[in-house]
Amino acid sequence: MKRTVLYMRVSTVDQHPETQVYDLRQMAAQRGYEIVQEYTDKISGVKARRPGLDQLMHDARRGRFDVLLVWACDRIARSTRHLLEVLDELNRLGIEFVSFRESLDTGGPLGRAITIIIGAIAELERSLIVERVKSGMRRARLEGRHIGRPALDVDREGIFRDHRCGRSIGQIAKEHRISRTTVHRVLHPQNPAQAAVPKGV
């Protein structure tokens, strides 16, 4: 008997998920599934953070169920892209996805084919995002713009001088308003070529 979970979502607190619950429980009974958990969110579908869905995915990653039943695809995803991401992850986890309204079942031959297509689309989307990021970085370099965090303006001579005066790492860090790690990196650089004490110290 396959372990299944139900996910229901309604848009406002004034709505009730009873209709979704009834249909999904009936579907689970017809298929001989064992319902091990039910998750419900009363929140707009466009919200990124949903306690019920977050807990569902948390349990999915720990292998606590085999099948996910939803009343409709738009109940679980806030956008087409989000739906692709969810289905792609469920597929990688070996979890079947069944939608009551759309009659989508990734456990069957057609459903598995759809899952492969969805996985390919999700992979393409990830590749496009990576390429856009790389393209933006290349353009920034060509335009002479700095990429990443601004470089720290560290008074290396002052740090060496304070160290020679016997001040602790913590005292030097506080005086120069930098982290202890930065002080340690200046005093003990990994590159031997950088280890020379500045002139005048």
Find out whether 107 and 98 touch, Cβ atoms under 8 Å. yes
* Amino acid occupying residue 90: L
The whole-angstrom separation of Cα 89 and Cα 83 is 10
Q: What are the beta bridge partners of residue 99?
A: 70, 104
Phi, psi of 100 (to 5 degrees): -65, -50
The whole-angstrom separation of Cα 6 and Cα 38 is 5
Please give the positions annotated as active site: 11
The whole-angstrom separation of Cα 60 and Cα 7 is 12
Tokens of 77: 């995803």
H/E stretch holding 164 reads: helix 156-164
**Sheet order of strands, 67-70 included:** 34-42, 3-10, 67-70, 96-99, 104-105
Place of tokens 């991401």: 85
67-70/34-42 β-pairing: unpaired
Phi, psi of 21 (to 5 degrees): -60, -45
